[in-house]
Structure 1
Amino acid sequence: MSTTKYAVVTLGAREKLEGKRSPDPMGREFLGWDKNMTPEDTYRDNRGIWPFVVADVEACEYVLFVSDGLVRLIIKLTGTESGYLNPATGKNLRAFVGDIVTAGPVYDQWFEQPNPSPARYPLVRFVNT
């Protein structure tokens, strides 16, 4: 039986970035999730910027975005982007690049299901299933 490796991103409540990280390196106005967001909004606002090891992410096929303990968005990972500097630390951060999954076995397995890797803070974690 084969296993699939997933990156799991835990999101907080949606919040405006103004005054927190301005200007945002990705040009975003918001971060996080709320029930009124479309999948496209969730992807745009949360695909980056994250401090992850590229080799860990390259081993993943999908990224699960979780908020309030449930999977809210799934993307099929096609790559990552670099070149985003954290203005506070100067560290190079990366963003996920992928296609939003809206149907199929992975969607049926994970969408609106409990977080497979619970975390208290917005972190990138990895799980095998």
Structure 2
Amino acid sequence: MIHITLGAMRYVNPREDQLGRDHVGWDPNMGDEALFRANRGCWVLGERADREQFALLSSQGVVRQAIEIDRLARVSGGRKAIEGRFLEAGHPVHDAYVGMPQPIEPVRNPVTYFESPHAARTCGCDCGAPVTLGWFLPGHDQKALHDRVAKIGTVHQFIEWFDRTFTEDVRSMSSRIESIVPHANDKDACSAHGAAAGCASLTADVVLSDTGSERVEWAVCARWLHENPDATAWLGAHPEAAARLGAF
């Protein structure tokens, strides 16, 4: 399992940050959505990380969040960002770690790994055997690969099919704004900055989506609308929505 140690929340330039964030780190008033989006990247993660299913975020010696990993997406500088979802109460990994002392001793490197009985998964070749490290039992990755090649044809036919169909751009990491409307939802703290940031009154409700979450609802302050490049671009392309917000 991946373990990541966070520092205190600090502000960053969203035009320079690879994920378009304006803050990173942990603050006690941050909700789960804000904590995940602020800290899912960008980390130096080695080959072992690609075989892990879960990550823990800790601060001040306590686990603050557990994340289920869909994949690790590459960003510039050899770093990676987590695409997945934060876990809630009732999930065994959340219940075993969140709110508890961090499971390993503090070290200088913010990214560490540890063996966890909660990280078991079924072998990726569909044989049904459990594995606790990686995705396959020894040798079963080759079996899974060749079974799938055979469904296309020869190795040459498989390569041709792959080259035709693989169009994913792994550098695309930004969340997509679906809508921005005047604030009306039940959130009472800025989802982007957290209550401790001392934001003025909330201005807008923003619906976001990306590969990690189909729909996430935020409530944000006017500063976020002015400073976030995606928000300013979206409002520029939707003048009717900007007009409904008034002089935010």
TM-score by length of 2: 0.44
Q: Secondary structure at the match of 1:106?
A: helix
The residue number in structure 2 matching 1:50 is 43
Identity %: 29
What stretches of structure 1 of length at least 5 have no aligned partner? 1-5, 86-90
Q: 4+ residue runs of structure 1 moved beyond 3 angstroms?
A: none
Whether 1:73 and 2:48 are equivalent positions in the alignment is no
- Per the TM alignment, residue 121 of structure 1 is displaced from its structure 2 partner at its CA by 4.6
Report the structure number with the largest CA radius of gyration.
Answer: 2
Number of aligned residue pairs: 115
More relative contact order, 1 or 2 (CA 8 Å, 6+ apart): 1
Whether 1:99 and 2:85 are equivalent positions in the alignment is yes
The letter for the 2-side match of 1:25 is: Q
The residue number in structure 1 matching 2:6 is 11
Matches within 5 A, 1:8-47: 8-18=3-13, 23-47=16-40
- Per the TM alignment, residue 59 of structure 1 is displaced from its structure 2 partner at its CA by 2.1
Q: Secondary structure at the match of 1:26?
A: coil
Question: In 1, Cα distance between the equivalents of 2:53 and 2:64?
Answer: 17
Q: Which has the higher helix share?
A: 2
Contact 1:52/1:93, CA 8 A, preserved across alignment: yes
- Per the TM alignment, residue 124 of structure 1 is displaced from its structure 2 partner at its CA by 1.1
What stretches of structure 2 of length at least 5 have no aligned partner? 117-248
The letter for the 1-side match of 2:94 is: Y
Question: In 1, Cα distance between the equivalents of 2:48 and 2:26?
Answer: 24
The residue number in structure 2 matching 1:88 is none
The residue number in structure 1 matching 2:100 is 113
Q: CA RMSD in A?
A: 1.7
The letter for the 2-side match of 1:65 is: L
Contact 1:71/1:110, CA 8 A, preserved across alignment: yes
Question: In 2, Cα distance between the equivalents of 1:64 and 1:73?
Answer: 6
Q: Which has the higher strand share?
A: 1
TM-score by length of 1: 0.82
Question: In 2, Cα distance between the equivalents of 1:10 and 1:98?
Answer: 18
